[in-house]
Amino acid sequence: MHLSRIEAAAATIERTAEVVPYVEADLRHTAVKVVEKAKALCLRKSVHGAMIEVFEGDAMNILCEVVDKHHASLLVVGSHGYGAIKRYIRRQVTGSQ
């Protein structure tokens, strides 16, 4: 039996909802690693007083708030974090864990 478009969409939304906690956990893990690397780089280069913070939310709003809050002259921005999604899809395709 073929699924209707609504049933197919509902199934897709359900599968997507199952992935979200894995994506969020991977993003937090990646953020910790990036912060550790940034701190190590600052230490090696004798950079003192650098502020390293991780924010979550809509990029446009967060970037503006952070720049205003800190009167920042430099703002380093990470990636979109699609790594976890790609790994999840790869596991689904290959059947590996």
31-55 tens-digit pLDDT: 899 899 999 999 999 999 888 888 8
Q: How many domains does the chain divide into?
A: 1
pLDDT at 89 exceeding the cut of 70 = no
Taking only the tens place, the pLDDT of each residue in 10-35 is 677 777 777 778 888 888 898 899 89
**Helix, strand or coil for residue 58?**
coil
pTM for this model (two decimals):
0.59
DSSP single-letter state for residue 73: S
Residue 41: domain span: 5-94
Q: Which of 80, 88, 85 is nearest to 31 (CA)?
A: 80
Instruction: Please report the beta strands in the chain, taking only residues with DSSP state E, as ranges in sequence order.
Output: none
User: How far is the C-alpha of 17 from the C-alpha of 22, rounded, in Å?
Assistant: 10
